[in-house]
Chain A
Amino acid sequence: MRWFAKQRYVIDFTLSSLLRRKGKNTALVLVYTLVVFMLASTMFFTYAIKKEAVIVLDNAPDIVVQRLVAGRHDLIPISYGDRIQKIKGVNSVKPKLWGYYFDSIFGANYTLIVPEDFPHGRGNIAIGYGVAKVSTSQVDYILPFWDHKGSMTSFTIKEILSSESELVSSDLILISEDDFRMLFGIPMEYATNLALKVRNKKELPVIAAKIKKIFPDTRPIIKDELLRTYDSVFNWRSGLLLIILSSAVLAFIIFAWDKASGLSAEERKEIGILKAIGWETSDVILMKFWEGTVISLTSFLAGLLLAYGHVFFSSSILFEPVLKGWAVIYPKFRLVPFIDPYQIAILFFLSVVPYTVATIVPSWRAATVDPDSVMRT
C-alpha cells in the first residue's frame, strides 16, 4: 500500500512537471499517437485481409492449369482436360471461362465469369455490387457491351450480388457460356483455364508436376500458392507496410534521439533541485520512468483504439485514396476484425519500451552527478 501511495505521489509530481511544458509534451503525445495509429492500422488491415483470404480461398480449385504462349497466359484447349482427367488422383477437371472487359463508358474494368450453373440463361447477367454502383444499375436494367466484332450487345441484369461479399465479387459479371463465347469470340473447343479437384491434397505437387510433364506449355498453379500469395503480397516488405514502417521507425529514432542525446538545461536544473532537497537517484529515475510511461502508454493506448475504429468501423477510410489507385471499381473493405494479440504485444514493446528506456538513461546520468554542479551548469 505504501509502495502504491509512493508511486501515486511520483505520478502526481511527474504530471505536474509535464504540464509545465504543456505545448511540447502535447505535441509529442499527438505525434506519438499518430505514429502508433498508422502502424496499428496497417497491422490490423493487412492481418485481417490475410486471414480472410486464407479462410475464403480455402474453397478455391485445388489446381488451376493455365496454358502459356510466348510467356503469356493463353486460351487452353479443352481436350487437355481429357488427358489430365486420366492422371491418378484427379477427381474432376472443369474448363473455366473468364476474362476482363474494359467498359469505356464508365472507365471501369470488369471480370466476366461463366459459372458452372448460371440460372438466368442467355441475354441475362448477374453483377457484383461494385459494378452496380459504378454503372448505377438495378435489377432489370440493361448493360451494354461491345463484342469482339465491334457490335454493341446488351444484357439484362437479373441479379446484383450482395454488398457483404464485395471483397470477392465487387467487379464480377456472371454470364452464360454462349454469351461469353459470343462476346469475346472464343471457339467452343477452348477455355480460359482448367480447374481441378484432387482427391488427396498431399498429392497436389506430384499431380502438378505430371501435368507439366505431359503438357510442357502449361502452368499448373496449386492451391497452396493461392493461399500463400496473400500472405506474401502483404508481408512487412510490401510497399504499404514498408513506407509506414520506415516512417514510424524514423519517427521513433527521432524521439529516442531527442531523449537520449541529453536533457534540456531546465530538466537538468530540476533534477539538481530534486537531489538537493533530498531525492535519491532511484527516485529521480522512478520519476523519469513515469514520465516516459505516461507519454508512451497514453499514446499507445489511444493510437491502438483509434486504429481499431479506423480499420473496422470506418472501412479504413484514410487508406482509401492509397488503396483505390486508379481503379474505378473499388470494394469497401468491410473486414472481419481478426486481430493478433502477438502483433499488438510486439507493437507495445516496440513503441512503449524504447521510449521509456530512452527517457531514463540520460536522467540517470544527470542524477548521479553532484546536485550543486548540475544546478550550476
Chain B
Amino acid sequence: MRKSTIFLSYVILNIILVCLMFTHAFQKQRATFPILKEKATQVKKFALTDLCLFTEARYTRHPTMADLNTPFQDFPMSIEHYPSGSLMLPPPQLKGEF
C-alpha cells in the first residue's frame, strides 16, 4: 500500500473521530440534562453558592464567599499554602473588579 494512502486514511479516520467527538459531546449534553437539572435543583434547594471542587480550604471550597482579607487570613504576610489556592485565580470581587 502506498504511504500516502496510509497517511490520508489516518487523517480521514481522525477527522471522522473528531466529528464523532462533537456528536458524542452534543448527545451527552442532551442525555445528562436531567443530571444537570438535579444539580441545579440542589443548588436552589440548599441555596448553594459554589461548586464543590476543592475542599481543603474554605476560600477554595467557597471562593465566592471568601473573606476580603483572604490572602492574609492567617497572619500579615502569610503566604498561600494550599495547593488549590495556587491553581485558581482569586475571585474577581477580591480583586475589586466589581
Give chain A's interface residues, CB within 8 Å of chain B: 8-9, 11-12, 15-16, 19, 49, 52-53, 55-61, 64, 66, 68, 71-73, 94, 96, 100, 108-109, 111, 113, 115-117, 128, 130, 161-162, 164-172, 174, 193, 195, 219, 221, 224-226, 228-230, 232-235, 237-240, 294, 297-298, 301-302, 304-305, 308, 312, 322-323, 325-331, 336-339, 341
The secondary-structure label for the interface of chain B is helix
Contact present for B52 and A336 (CB under 8 Å): no
Q: How far is the CA of A115 from the CA of B30 in the complex (A)?
A: 29
Note all chain B residues with C-beta closer than 8 A to A167: 39, 51-53
- Give the shortest distance, in Å, between B97 (CB) and chain A (any CB): 8
Could you mark each residue 23-38 of chain B with 1 if its beta carbon is under 8 Å from any beta carbon of chain A, else 0? 0110011001001101
Contact present for A111 and B61 (CB under 8 Å): yes
- Whether B78 sits at the interface, judged by CB under 8 Å, is no
**16 pairs across A/B with beta carbons < 8 Å?**
A59-B43, A66-B65, A94-B47, A100-B58, A111-B55, A130-B55, A164-B35, A164-B38, A169-B39, A229-B63, A238-B88, A304-B18, A305-B21, A312-B28, A336-B29, A337-B28
Q: Which residues of B68-98 have CB atoms within 8 Å of chain A's CB atoms?
A: 68-69, 73, 82-84, 86-93, 97-98
Task: Please count how many residues in chain B sit with their CB below 8 Å of the partner chain's CB atoms.
Answer: 63
- Give the shortest distance, in Å, between A29 (CB) and chain B (any CB): 12
- Give the shortest distance, in Å, between A222 (CB) and chain B (any CB): 8
Contact present for B18 and A239 (CB under 8 Å): no
Contact present for A325 and B38 (CB under 8 Å): no
Contact present for B46 and A172 (CB under 8 Å): yes
